[in-house]
Each structure stands twice: as C-alpha cells, then as structure tokens.
Amino acid sequence: MKYPSNIKKSYTSTINYKNRGMDLEALITDACKYYLDHDLAVIYKKPTPIGVVSVDYAHNAMITKAFFKEPSTLDYNGIYKGKYIEFDAKECHNKTSFPLTNIHDHQISHLTKIINHGGICFLIISMNNNYYLFKGEDLLEFLNNNSRKSIPFEYFETKGYKLDYNYNIGLDYLKGIDNAYKELILNEN
Amino acid sequence: MKYPSNIKKSYTSTINYKNRGMDLEALITDACKYYLDHDLAVIYKKPTPIGVVSVDYAHNAMITKAFFKEPSTLDYNGIYKGKYIEFDAKECHNKTSFPLTNIHDHQISHLTKIINHGGICFLIISMNNNYYLFKGEDLLEFLNNNSRKSIPFEYFETKGYKLDYNYNIGLDYLKGIDNAYKELILNEN
C-alpha cells in the first residue's frame, strides 16, 4: 500500500507480550465467573496491592498519587468443595524452560504455609500453547532437589496436569483440581 | 494558657471516628501477624480494590489518577485448621443497635455462597467497648426473620461470641472461631 508522503504511518506491533499476559488472565477470569454463576466454586482474583500516597477528597476521593506494590501472596484464592484454594497464573514465553525468577521467594514461602495448613495451592503455567496445573508440592520438590535456575518444559509435561480450554467456561481449571487432588477432594465429598 | 494574638491556635479534635475505625482493623492486623509468625493460621486482609485510570510510566509507573472501588467480598480471608475462613470487621458507634446499611447486599450474597460451599464466614463487630464474632449463619437467620433495619445490641450479646483482647496477640479471633465453630473445627482435627 502506498501512503501519501505527508501522512505519518502508525505501526502496531503484532507481538504484544503485555496482551499475551492478559490472555491467560482473561481465560481464568472467564472460568471464575462461570464457576461463580453456576455455583461450582467461589474464587476471585485478589485486587492488586496499591500504596496510596495522596487523595483529593475535594474531588470524590480521587487518588492523585499511588504506586503498585509487590504482592506477597498468590493472585487468586477462594473455596471449592469445602477446600481452601490458592493459585497464581504465569505466562512463560521461553519454549524450553520456565525461569524461576518468575516466582518470588515470599510467594514460595506463602505457598509452603498454605500446603502445611491443608490448603490446595498451585500454579497455572501457560507454555508452548498449553496450559498446565502445576501442584505446589511438585514445585517444592523440584526446588529441594535441583540447583537449576529454571524448570525444564519436560517437567511440566510429566508432572503437570494439562488444562482444557472450553468455549463456555474459559480455562477449566476445576477439572484440573479434581484430577490433581483426587484423594483430597474425594475425602471431602 | 494565653496565646499571643498573632499566633493562630490549632485545634485537634479528640473525637476521631476515622481512627476509631482503624483501631479494630489494627487489632485484627496484629492478630493476623501473630498467627502467621506462630504458624497458627494464614489469614490476610485483601488489598483495597482500586480502579486505576492513568499511570505515568516515565516516573516509575506512578499512578496519577485512580479511584477506590466498592469491595464485593469481605475484607479478610485465608486458611485455619484446613478450613476456608472469610470475615469482615465492622465498627458500630451506635450503642443500641447495628444499622444493616453497614452490610452491602453483595456482601450478604457472597457470605451466603461461602457458607454453602463449606467455608467459615462471619463478622467481627465492635460495639459498646466489646468485640463480637457474629456468625454468618446467625446474620442470615436474623435477616430472614426480621424486617428491622438494624440488629439490636442484645442480639449480639445472645448470639455473638465475645472476643478477648490479648496484649501479645491483638484481638484473639481464632479462639472465637474455635468457640463458635466447635463441631466444624473438631471434625477436621
């Protein structure tokens, strides 16, 4: 296509990592809403922690200065079949391994505590066009037995539980929980 | 005391309702920290939901315009003895009754869902210098059997579980949970 020389062309990148990050989140948000509407589970994304510096009370309590804070827990939590559920969603753009810098130390310590208290805690990892439920227990086992700085893709293929995308539901992670935590879930019901 | 006429006297009000509200929250925050440090429970206050309108990425991703949003769930949630816990803290300055306008409809619908899914859901109410754990089940019973717009203080005295303030812990609400949900907690352990 030929543009007149006086009109500035605007380019839109087709690779948008930010939006790719949103996609996994959007698929999980859809599922949470479906589960809530169909009374299957009550699971929400926690609000992003924000440190408010100044508020203009004269203008409807408008926040005029604030900063994003690092979360010390995982992003989603709630209840399913009487069980406490907590998880985080991680997009991995690397095709061969998942860099452990994606998980903060305080998140690992939090995940350990939740498991010790009898909760169900995991990651949802998107990698090579697949979605995996990766149990917190398996993450801890990997960390305790490896000095590697990343988890190889094969590890998810072996240890992870593949999640299905469903047009009506979104990313059907409850099915994944049923699969990954069979004994825990069966004992309860 | 006599002030020179050219110096403006500044008054500080001794009645500060905002800070009174903070007190209950501070007592609960202390308890959450104590329980976490002593590995008794993992319960956090959810971040306040904020709608971000504009961000200045040139200045360290500083938020320059945002608004507080109404929470649709309760403020605190987590896990205790394998059970999903969720609650809200409400300061009541009225001495004779607790106005139901303090609890939003979507909070009641959320609380109902949590109970139906097997979670422990309650309010912590501060009233007449006492702190009460008021079970979600008792709140729903009151709402279903009354057309009143407020809950009389006597109702909390009869149905509520008085919480102790402990110098080391803060407001010891786990003891209240043990008391109020004896059967549920005993079955688990």
pLDDT value of position A23: 87
pLDDT > 70? residue B136 = yes
- CA B122 – CA B75 distance, rounded (Å): 11
A1 within a domain of the structure (yes/no): no
User: Could you tell me which chain B residue has the CA closest to the CA of A63?
Assistant: B66
pLDDT > 70? residue A2 = no
CATH number of the CATH domain containing B116 = 3.40.1350.10
Chain B touched by A73 (CB under 8 Å):
yes
Total of domains in chain A: 1
B1 within a domain of the structure (yes/no): no
- Would you place residue B11 in the very low, low, confident or very high pLDDT band (cuts 50, 70, 90)? very low
pLDDT > 80? residue A12 = no
Which residue in A49, A69, A119 is closest to B79 by CB distance? A119
Chain B touched by A6 (CB under 8 Å):
no
Chain B touched by A42 (CB under 8 Å):
yes
pLDDT > 80? residue A9 = no
Per residue in A108-156, pLDDT tens? 999 999 999 999 999 999 999 999 999 999 999 999 999 989 999 999 9
B6 within a domain of the structure (yes/no): no
Can you tell me the ipTM of this complex?
0.84
Residue A2 C-beta-side C-alpha neighbours within 13 Å: 1
B41 within a domain of the structure (yes/no): yes
Give A13 or A152, the one with higher predicted confidence.
Answer: A152
By residue range, what is the domain housing residue B141?
17-188
A5 within a domain of the structure (yes/no): no
- Would you place residue B183 in the very low, low, confident or very high pLDDT band (cuts 50, 70, 90)? confident
- Tell if the CB–CB gap between B81 and A116 is shorter than 8 Å: no
Instruction: Determine the average pLDDT of the residues in B154-180.
Output: 95
Q: Give Cβ neighbours of residue A182 (< 8 Å, ≥ 6 apart).
A: none
pLDDT value of position A187: 57
Q: Give Cβ neighbours of residue A166 (< 8 Å, ≥ 6 apart).
A: A172
Structure tokens given for A58: 């004269």
pLDDT value of position A20: 42
Cα distance from N-terminal residue to C-terminal residue, chain B = 64
Residues of A in contact with B71 (CB under 8 A): 47
Per residue in B56-78, pLDDT tens? 999 888 999 999 998 889 999 99
pLDDT value of position B187: 56
Q: Give Cβ neighbours of residue B103 (< 8 Å, ≥ 6 apart).
A: B88, B90, B123, B139
Mean pLDDT of chain A: 87
- Tell if the CB–CB gap between B80 and A117 is shorter than 8 Å: yes
B11 within a domain of the structure (yes/no): no
A10 within a domain of the structure (yes/no): no
B65 within a domain of the structure (yes/no): yes
pLDDT value of position A15: 39
Give A188 or B46, the one with higher predicted confidence.
Answer: B46
pLDDT > 60? residue B21 = no
pLDDT value of position A186: 65
- CA A85 – CA B84 distance, rounded (Å): 8
